[in-house]
Structure 1
């Protein structure tokens, strides 16, 4: 017989785990299903670890320009493995925080791949074992995933997704960023600060096109001043 709940949340990112906590606070019997890490992409592979990388890059930038502040820092350098390691540690800490919140709010966590089998039924598969769940309500909060370009399949070596860019085995000397949304610009800024020659290509007429035009304009001027080459109204046809 399937495990019974008032609410099942499929996906434990900021949308999913917050909804699960609020429902539990309101007295519902809640389960959450996650196939990888509690906290989802944002906490583990997105917003949070990129900010940790950017913070390291910012401090490194200040060290290189210490003289402007009346300070001295001779031959500043960085250890890429430690920079990445700090970013991963920040994510791990937050993942553990979400795990604690699940326990605190008495939310049952089912790790594995969740699949809807009916309007109020869901099956979770983990290491070949299937668990059937049933609930009056199901929230689907599965988020998004990286998309491969037909002419540039990600291989983790020459062509990266955001995951590869977040845990680089070595620092590239040159980097082409296809797309200038928040994620693309974050990585462009990080790798530029760390010494790579960065080019950003955007098909629309301005970078970060979902933001206000004046934001795009100010950001493009700032990034160009920092040495990033930006090509707008341009598409990548082949590599």
Structure 2
């Protein structure tokens, strides 16, 4: 069995792991990365990126269908599902190759196989043809997570789908029931509805997108229902059975009755990938299935760290990447600041899109301090009207005394590309004064961000 030694070994090549490996190499460490499946992890291959490619196809389809509103006459569009799916897979394949190139460029040694901790810095990697024994002074666990399974609804690829099956459909089901109204569930609901499916969404919470500000959730819910998506909130499945080639479900809660679906898509959360890692050989602690870490990603085992989804929420790729950089720089003795979870933006690529950072209005009020809330609708924004994208609004929340930006929330066209302005403002500890005096270009939808700040202080100019 071959043995090699490194300064740092990263287990998992997703957005947290490969970024950590690259940054460590930049800082002069001898680095190895172990990945048992595709480079880029779930996000690049079976999550963030391929779903956005599918959703872009849905956007194009909606735009073409609405071409007459812009004075453009076109024939009725036809969906080529095979090409839609293939384009999505091609995007992932191209990006996966890009990650491999970055690792090579940064002289990161890549091992393809299953890694298992053996204690005292040793890791055994079971490759396809042989085993490799590696030693590292520091080890980062970046093994990610997988879709949470329901024991009574096992994924079978026919009646019950996870996100993997939903990403590569051979046909569009006539009736689709999505269980779970978080970001993943709502994004798939929007895609399949655009593709022509009859879509229903079932959620145990009392509203869809329950992690978002209540006004944002309500706006998205109204838009989805207008688009023909049936929403069952504060409800759950009491029983189900297969009848005549379809899933028949008994629903209980706020909505009681039966519904039928050709396919049920499960989007009910995730489970951390901690099995078969050899954690029993360490002092690592688990909480609700996730690895417990401190503010610098350190576990209870010396020189063993965990980043990304395996270390708990928020389950976001950009959070994992930032943790990877933070963790490595801390190892190297650089001055780093712990992540403030309220400064991590979140995006949902639904129709309309949702983007937020910081506290919701309800959370801000729970802080017990006076706040100021400003809102500005896109219907009063010139660029939004020109684009026929006037659904939604921008909402900001300030501490009345200090002017601190506590939270920002958006719903509308391409707001996921706008939230970074508020995220930067929070990082710079910007107050309402700086935001008011910032000159934004006209005409842009981002002007609504400026107007929302003005509205919080009764100074809105176009409302």
Taking the TM superposition and a 5 Å limit, the aligned residue runs for 1:203-218 are 203-218=204-219
Identify the residue that residue 232 of structure 1 maps to in structure 2.
233
Cα distance in structure 2, aligned partners of 1:193 and 1:207: 19
Question: Which stretch shows the higher mean deviation, 202-211 or 77-86?
Answer: 202-211
More helix as a share of residues: 1
Q: Secondary structure at the match of 2:238?
A: coil
Secondary structure (helix, strand or coil) at the match of 1:235 reads: strand
Unaligned runs of 5+ in 1: none
Cα distance between partner residues in 1 of 2:232 and 2:220: 14
How many residue pairs end up in the alignment?
A: 239
Alignment correspondent of 2:268: none
Give the structure-2-normalised TM-score. 0.51
- TM-score norm. by structure 1 comes to 0.97
**Compared with structure 1, are the counterparts of its residues 69 and 119 closer, same or farther at alpha carbon in structure 2 (3 Å cutoff)?**
farther
Root-mean-square deviation (Å): 1.1
1:88 maps onto 2:75 in alignment: no
1:66 to partner: Cα distance: 1.5
Q: Which residue of 1 aligns with 2:158?
A: 157
Query: Which whole-Å CA distance do the structure 1 matches of 2:35 and 2:177 have between them?
Result: 33
Matched, 1:69 2:84: no
Which stretch of structure 1 is more off in the superposition, 126-135 or 165-174? 126-135
1:97 matched residue in structure 2: 98
What SS does the corresponding residue of 1:236 show, helix, strand or coil?
A: strand
Provide the secondary structure at the position in 2 that maps to 1:177: strand
Post-superposition, which runs of at least 4 consecutive aligned residues in structure 1 deviate over 3 A?
Answer: none
Whole-Å separation in 2 of the counterparts to 1:23 and 1:221: 47
| Inter-partner Cα distance in structure 2 for 1:106 and 1:237 | 54
1:13 matched to 2:30? The reply is: no
Structure 2 residue runs of 5 or longer lacking an equivalent are 241-463
Structure 1 residues 46-81: Cα deviation after superposition (integer angstroms, max 9, x where no partner): 000000000001101111222122112222111101
Moved more, 176-185 or 219-228: 219-228
The answer (yes or no) to whether the contact 1:152–1:238 under 8 Å persists in 2 is no
Find the aligned partners of 1:4 and 1:163 in 2 and give their Cα distance.
36
Change (3 A) 1:119 1:61: farther
Counterpart CA distance in 1 for 2:9 and 2:188 is 35
Q: Deviations over 1:5-41 (max 9, x none)?
A: 1001111111111111111000000011111111111
CA distance in 2, matches of 1:122, 1:214: 49
